[in-house]
Amino acid sequence: EHPVTEMRTGLDLVRMQIEVAQGGSVPKQEHVSFNGHAIEARLNAEDPWRGFLPSAGRVLMCKYPSGEGMRVDSGVGSRVSSRYDSLIGKLIAHGATREQAREKLKSMLKQTVVLGVLTNQPFLIQLLESEFFQSGETFTHTIDGLDLGERPLPEPLVSAAADVLRGYLPKGPAVWRHAHQRSTATITLIGPDGRVEAPVGTRNPHPTDAVAVARDRERVWASFEGALGVFHLPDAAGVEEASESRAPMTGKVVSLPVRVGDKVREGDTLAVLEAMKMEYRLEAQAPGVVKDIGAREGDLVDLGQVLVRLDLGGTE
């Protein structure tokens, strides 16, 4: 990656390419000096906890850190399109040693805020903190066998999202520092992977934690120290059941093989979405009868939009 080379040598490789195209020359190899270590992370709009599924949508907030030995190459605008590559930006850290570069890059990722799409930001932090990366024991098959565990959703992040959804915090986008009285009460939210219990009115033992939040209609995006989530309140019944098939990503509906009144079995394809050159099949989680269809073929749909509703009791 050319930013890593540039951080270590101080050379501008793109400028050099232009100069060569104009008849110039490049410095001889023996005149190129290397300084320290540099590591680059590619921040992508994709969800590692769903098989790196693409995540397109409107960017509500985008903030990067700056400082000595830090570089960010980013060209994302107000929206991450489902038509192109998922790359949002490159974060590069330079240090005198590999360990210094690793720690600086981890700090950069924890300070970075991108709201409006799911990203691989928590995954990158997890990699940088892993023992195998710290010891340099990484191979082409390392990620394939990696157990990510549960998606990190720390308490300050979930609690701040609940506060916004309940109207106790402005909808943002902004970074809030606030503290509440300790409370044992909770409220149920629907997060990236399903139901989550959010503490109500609690921020201790983190009274000054900064949580970035932004509301987009019925959903709230929140980021805290590199962890990222999107939340909304449950429906009127209090739960989301297998009867609702929602879009797992922002994308284009390329196929709707079912019609209202069709009987479906568990595992049947209800819809096919396309985003960033990838297709995703939405399958029935239980047998039922198609009650309602919330989109048409060719439509662009948002993350979480209901595409198909089933009557789970209507198969007999």
Q: Which of residues 209, 231, 253 is at a domain's end?
A: 231
Question: What does the pLDDT read at residue 300?
Answer: 86
Decide if 46 is inside a domain.
yes
Mean of the per-residue pLDDT values of the chain: 86
Question: What does the pLDDT read at residue 253?
Answer: 92
Residue 242 has phi, psi (to 5 degrees) of: -65, -10
- Shared domain for 139 and 162, answered yes or no, is no
Average pLDDT over residues 47-59: 89
Decide if 195 is inside a domain.
yes
Decide if 90 is inside a domain.
yes
Q: How many domains does the chain have?
A: 3
Q: Does residue 242 carry a pLDDT above 70?
A: no
Is residue 91 a contact partner of residue 127, using CB atoms and an 8 Å limit?
Answer: no
Decide if 20 is inside a domain.
no
Phi-psi category of residue 13: left, alpha or beta, with phi > 0 → left and psi -120 to 50 → alpha: alpha
- Shared domain for 203 and 282, answered yes or no, is no
Task: Write out the residue range of the structural domain in which residue 186 sits.
Answer: 155-231
- Shared domain for 71 and 130, answered yes or no, is yes
Share above pLDDT 70 across residues of the chain, in percent, rounded to a whole number:
87
Residue 94 has phi, psi (to 5 degrees) of: -120, 140
Question: What does the pLDDT read at residue 64?
Answer: 95
Decide if 1 is inside a domain.
no
Structure tokens at 49: 């906890």
Q: Does residue 146 carry a pLDDT above 70?
A: yes
Decide if 82 is inside a domain.
yes
Q: Does residue 91 carry a pLDDT above 90?
A: yes
Q: Angle at the Cα of 267 (from 265 to 269), degrees rounded to 5?
A: 95
- Per-residue confidence band for 22, with pLDDT thresholds at 50, 70 and 90: very high
Q: Does residue 265 carry a pLDDT above 50?
A: yes
Decide if 225 is inside a domain.
yes
Q: Does residue 236 carry a pLDDT above 50?
A: no
Question: What does the pLDDT read at residue 244?
Answer: 81
Residue recorded with tokens 């939210």: 189
- Shared domain for 140 and 160, answered yes or no, is no
Is residue 132 a contact partner of residue 138, using CB atoms and an 8 Å limit?
Answer: yes
- Shared domain for 215 and 284, answered yes or no, is no
- Shared domain for 52 and 104, answered yes or no, is yes
- Shared domain for 222 and 251, answered yes or no, is no
Domain containing 138 — which CATH number?
3.30.470.20
Q: Does residue 241 carry a pLDDT above 80?
A: no
- Shared domain for 41 and 118, answered yes or no, is yes
Q: Give the three-class secondary structure for 120.
A: coil
Distance separating alpha carbons of residues 247 and 267, to the nearest angstrom: 16
Q: Which of residues 231, 259, 285 is at a domain's end?
A: 231
Higher pLDDT, 168 or 240: 168
Share above pLDDT 90 across residues of the chain, in percent, rounded to a whole number:
50
Is residue 311 a contact partner of residue 243, using CB atoms and an 8 Å limit?
Answer: yes
Is residue 38 a contact partner of residue 17, using CB atoms and an 8 Å limit?
Answer: no
CA-based nearest residue to 157, from 87, 223, 243 = 223
Average pLDDT over residues 21-43: 93
Decide if 299 is inside a domain.
yes
- Shared domain for 45 and 118, answered yes or no, is yes
- Shared domain for 215 and 264, answered yes or no, is no
Average pLDDT over residues 215-229: 91
Q: Which of 20-24, 171-175, 308-312 has the highest mean pLDDT?
A: 20-24
- Per-residue confidence band for 100, with pLDDT thresholds at 50, 70 and 90: very high
Question: What does the pLDDT read at residue 162?
Answer: 87
Q: Does residue 179 carry a pLDDT above 70?
A: no
Higher pLDDT, 275 or 188: 188
- Shared domain for 65 and 131, answered yes or no, is yes
- Shared domain for 194 and 259, answered yes or no, is no
Q: Which of residues 110, 145, 180 is at a domain's end?
A: 145
Higher pLDDT, 83 or 129: 129
Domain containing 262 — which CATH number?
2.40.50.100
Structure tokens at 262: 């069709």
